[in-house]
Each structure stands twice: as C-alpha cells, then as structure tokens.
C-alpha cells in the first residue's frame, strides 16, 4: 500500500501563507512601554478588530492577515494592518513600534485579566512577567498533519538562518545587549520554547507533547512554543523563530522564504528523503549564534558542523529554495529584498547605526523604528 506521505507531488495551487505580527505600544516621549492595549483594540473598527488579538502583555497588540496566495496580496494586508493599528495607537496616546523586545522598560508587567494568562502567571512565575517580546509568525498551508510534522524535521537546519535574517532586538533596558536578537534570549526562558525536536511521526509528536503537559512544562498543547510546529489552530506549519520585523518588506521577505522552505520540505518528504538527524545541543548552539550575530558575523552550518559567514548560509538557503520561489513567482522579489538587506543590514544593524550616529540616543532609534513600522 502506498504511504499517503510518499505519493508523488502533483501540480497544485500555490502554498497558502499568512502572518501574525506582534507590536509594542510605546510612550512617544520616553520610549517606555504603555499598558494601553485594550484601548487600542477598542479603537479599531469592527472590520479591523477581527484581524487583531489580545496579547500576553498590556503593552502589546497582534495583527493577523487573512490566508493569502501571493506576496502582493500579503504585503497589502500587512501594510493596511500596521497603519490601522498605528492610528488606533495614536488615539490611545501611544506609538506602534515593530521591534522584537522591550527597548527601554515595562513598568506594568501583570498579565491581562484572562483565566489562562493568570494560570500561566501562577505556573511560571517571573518568566511570565519578563518585559514584552514580539515575534513574527508565518503560517504555510500543510493540511496533512503527518506531513506537517515531517516538514518541521526538514526545516531544522535552516531555521537559525531565518532567525538571523529577522534579528531586530539589540536593546534592553535602554542599552545594547550585544545580541542582535535579545527577544530570543528572553523567550528561551520558557521551558516549552526553543528548537523543534525531531519527531518520527505525528503520533510521536503528540505523545511527547502529552508527556510535557503531564510534567508541568506546558499547561496544554497550545503552549508548544517551538520554532516550528504544526499549528494547534490551523492546518498549517507555523514558523515562529523570528523577531517582529521593522518593515513590511522585511516581513514579506521572511514569509516568502519560509513558504519556499516549507514547499521544498514537502517535496523532499514526498520523495522519501529523510531529514538529517541533528543533535539538539548543536541546533540550540546554532540558534544562540544566530541570535547573537544576526547577519553581521558567522553562523553555525548545521549540515557540516562548522562556522561560516552568515551571508554564505543565506546564499545556500536561497539556492535550496529557488525552485519553490520560481514556482510561486517569488524569486524576483526575494532577490531584490535580499539585495536591500545586504546593503541595509538587519533591523538590529539598522538600530545600531542610528545609535552610533546619534551618540547613543535610544529615542532616536525608536523614532526610526516607528517610521519603519508603517513605511510603505
């Protein structure tokens, strides 16, 4: 009998893609986080509110796109959502900023009044009260859950490169942390976060998650915060390794590459190609290096175990997914945006340039980030 995973890939419609973006609400004068999320969400029109979500901090809002099939459509939804949320933030006296971690400080760290959030606060204590962090989560349609689990295995060597591309949180407590993605350092304090383990099947995945819930590491299966996972809510593979990106085009670039990675992984699974078996400690080391360096140094090449310049690994990723980019008619856009990224650097590199130019003026960095958030 033919396995449902091993069947040949037939010509099909483009893989669908959707994005969830988390944003901080900052005081325009001081840069401190403002606990006005409820006022911001209330200021949204009903049609826009259905694309928003309450988050784990009073200073955060999340905007989500509909399911999309092409990048122009996705870009339009992202830009509209950002500008809509920005207007609502202004009405609440705040400024919407797309950045990975709290850059100055967050005085009110209590969780919103929600039974689940209160349960998380009781279970995880101070970890649940860290300053807010914001991510960019990309969903790619993979309706077969068995296939989705195996796709996540194939993504493991490449997710540190995606993490490096999105690095956009060098600041914490008003200072440069030395890390390109401080969000990654904070987020990894959660016991259910981090690199996705290798799983032999969906049953293996489910059994492992059930054991972690029983061990108290998670309240329930929705607390799987691994960098890639079969979504608990949608028929997708969700990649959640990246910082919130500074511009819409940064987000669309990441979404295009993630969709191409997933499409490439689907083809490899269906061709019967096994995913590489990687040691968890080495995968964790590769992610730490990506969070520390961004694209400004060397990254761990998980295929060889050595260190190589970050942009060489970006080029390798591009080569690996080019057929999928061509299939989706995304190659031209991705090449153009990678060229821009080579010139401008990651969000973290851009923030550091502003710091250097202004003699360490954090407010100038936040002005820059606010402008980039809604630039079209």
In a domain, 1, yes or no: no
What CATH number does residue 280 fall under? 3.30.590.20
Q: How many CB atoms lie within 10 A of CB 235?
A: 14
The residue among 21, 347, 292, 371 whose CA lies nearest residue 165 is 347
- Is residue 192 included in any domain, yes or no? yes
Q: Is residue 9 included in any domain, yes or no?
A: no
- Residue 8, domain member (yes or no): no
What integer pLDDT is reported at residue 269 of this predicted model? 98
Residues above pLDDT 70, as percent of the chain: 97
Residues 202, 206, 209: CA angle, nearest 5 degrees: 140
Nearest partner of 188 among 169, 213, 202, judged by Cα: 169
Q: Which of 357, 53, 4, 347 is nearest to 202 (CA)?
A: 4
Q: Is 226 helix (H, G, I), strand (E, B) or coil?
A: strand
pLDDT digits (tens, 9 = 90+) for 57-70: 999 999 999 999 99
Mean pLDDT for the chain overall: 95
* pLDDT tens digits for range 263-274: 999 999 999 999
Do 166 and 22 form a contact (C-beta atoms < 8 A)?
A: no
308 strand-pairing partners: 299
Residue in this structure with the two tokens 């520390």, named with its chain if needed: 292
pLDDT digits (tens, 9 = 90+) for 272-325: 999 999 999 999 999 999 999 999 999 999 999 899 999 999 999 999 999 999
342 secondary structure, DSSP code: H
Angle among Cα 320, 234, 199 to the nearest 5 degrees reads 55
pLDDT-based confidence at residue 12 (cuts at 50, 70, 90) = low
| DSSP-assigned states of every residue in 277-302 | ---HHHHHHHHHHHHHHTTSSEEE-T
pLDDT of amino acid 125: 95
Mean pLDDT of 196-202: 97
* 6 in any annotated domain: no
Handedness of CA 78, 80, 81, 87 (dihedral sign): positive
Q: How many domains does the chain have?
A: 1
Phi, psi of 211 (to 5 degrees): -65, -40
Q: How many Å apart are CA 333 and CA 71, to the nearest integer?
A: 9
Q: Which structural domain, as residue segments, surrounds residue 330?
A: 17-374
Look at residues 121, 124, 105, 123 and name the one whose alpha carbon lies nearest to residue 113: 121
Percent of the chain at pLDDT above 90?
Answer: 93
Contacts of 34 (CB under 8 A, 6+ apart): 25, 26, 27, 59, 92, 93, 94
List of residues 6+ apart from 213 with CB closer than 8 A: 219, 220, 221
Is residue 2 in a domain?
no
Q: Does the residue 265 lie in any domain?
A: yes
Rounded Cα distance between 291 and 144, Å, is 31
**Is the pTM here over 0.85, yes or no?**
yes
The pLDDT, as a whole number, for residue 147 is: 98
Q: pLDDT tens digits, residue range 94-141? A: 999 999 999 999 999 989 999 999 999 999 999 999 999 999 999 999
Q: Give the pLDDT band (50/70/90) at residue 54.
A: confident
CA 161, distance to chain mean position in Å, is 12
Domain presence at residue 12: no
User: Count of CB atoms within 10 A of residue 64's CB?
Assistant: 17
């Amino acid at each position: 009998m033919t396995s449902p995973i091993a069947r040949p890939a037939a010509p099909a419609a483009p893989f669908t893609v959707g994005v969830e973006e988390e944003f901080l609400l900052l005081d325009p004068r001081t840069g401190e986080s403002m606990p006005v999320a409820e006022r911001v969400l209330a200021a949204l029109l009903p049609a826009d509110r259905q694309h928003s979500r309450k988050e784990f901090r009073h200073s955060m809002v999340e905007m989500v796109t509909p399911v999309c099939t092409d990048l122009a459509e996705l870009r339009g939804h992202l830009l509209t959502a950002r500008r809509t949320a920005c207007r609502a933030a202004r009405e609440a006296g705040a400024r919407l900023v797309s950045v990975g971690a709290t850059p100055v400080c967050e005085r009110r760290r209590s969780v919103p009044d929600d039974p689940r959030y209160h349960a998380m606060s009781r279970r995880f204590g101070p970890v649940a009260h860290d300053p807010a962090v914001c991510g960019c989560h990309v969903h790619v349609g993979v309706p077969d859950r068995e296939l989705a689990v195996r796709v996540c295995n194939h993504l493991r060597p490449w997710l540190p490169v995606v993490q490096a591309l999105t690095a956009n949180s060098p600041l914490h407590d008003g200072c440069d942390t030395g890390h390109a993605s401080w969000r990654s350092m904070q987020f990894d304090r959660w016991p259910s976060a981090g690199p996705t383990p290798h799983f032999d099947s969906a049953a293996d995945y489910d059994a492992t998650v059930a054991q972690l819930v029983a061990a108290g590491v998670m309240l329930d299966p929705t607390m799987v915060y691994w960098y890639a996972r079969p979504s608990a809510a949608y028929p997708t593979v969700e990649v959640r390794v990246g910082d919130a990106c500074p511009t819409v085009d940064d987000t669309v670039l990441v979404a295009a590459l993630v969709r191409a990675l997933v499409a490439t992984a689907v083809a490899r699974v269906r061709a019967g190609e096994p995913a590489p078996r990687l040691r968890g400690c080495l995968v964790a080391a590769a992610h730490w290096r990506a969070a520390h360096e961004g694209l400004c140094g060397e990254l761990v090449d998980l295929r060889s175990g050595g260190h190589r310049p970050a942009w060489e690994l970006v080029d390798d990723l591009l080569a690996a997914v080019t057929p999928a980019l061509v299939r989706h008619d995304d190659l031209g856009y991705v090449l153009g945006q990678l060229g821009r990224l080579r010139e401008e650097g990651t969000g973290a590199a851009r923030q550091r340039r502003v710091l250097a130019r202004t003699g360490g003026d954090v407010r100038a960095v936040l002005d820059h980030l606010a402008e980039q958030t809604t630039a079209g």
